[in-house]
Amino acid sequence: MNVLSSYAHAASIVTPESLTENTLASLEQIFTRPLVLAAFDLIDRSNVLEYSSPGGHYYQVFGSTASYQVFLDLPSPTPAYCTCPAFSYLLLSPESTLMCKHILAALFGRKLGRIIQRQLNPEELATTLLQE
Ligand SMILES: [Zn+2]
């Protein structure tokens, strides 16, 4: 498994109906417990926003020192992308099954319906993307 297949696996096992102890245990097995806890911590702090516009959508995840943009549902071969340095590093490590906490937070938050939604028109979306 690499970083992207572990993401696909996580996406397939988390559903709003099945966030059980078993699901959490499976996630911790793939990504490690600290990473899974860090992702849920971001969700609990309402640090995950979804910006949507008629042209598409992306997520903004606020960390303690910086905020990053997360893209899910991209065409293969890279179904998810984050602008943080950790994710670029992970992509270059073919053996890594870790994932950055921002992508996990966006993925889990979306599955569980716990993401703050913002609507943008296309001009606002372009401006937001250019600023960061
Ligand atoms: Zn990240």
Q: What is the mean pLDDT of each run of 10 residues along the chain (132 residues)?
A: 81 80 91 94 95 84 91 83 92 84 95 87 76 62
Using a CB cutoff of 5 Å, list residues around ligand 1, an ion: 82, 84, 87, 100, 102
DSSP output for 48-102: EEEEEETTEEEEEEE-SS-EEEEE-SPPTT---EE-SHHHHHHHT-TT-----HH
The rounded Å distance from CA 61 to ligand 1 centre is 8
The rounded Å distance from CA 84 to ligand 1 centre is 4
Domain count, the chain: 1
Tell me the C-alpha distance between 85 and 37, whole Å: 20
CA distance to 25, 53, 62, 91, per residue, from 2 (Å): 19, 31, 25, 8
What's the domain range around 31? 3-131
User: Given this model, what pLDDT does residue 43 score?
Assistant: 95
The rounded Å distance from CA 90 to ligand 1 centre is 10
The rounded Å distance from CA 123 to ligand 1 centre is 25
User: Given this model, what pLDDT does residue 132 score?
Assistant: 56
User: Given this model, what pLDDT does residue 131 score?
Assistant: 67
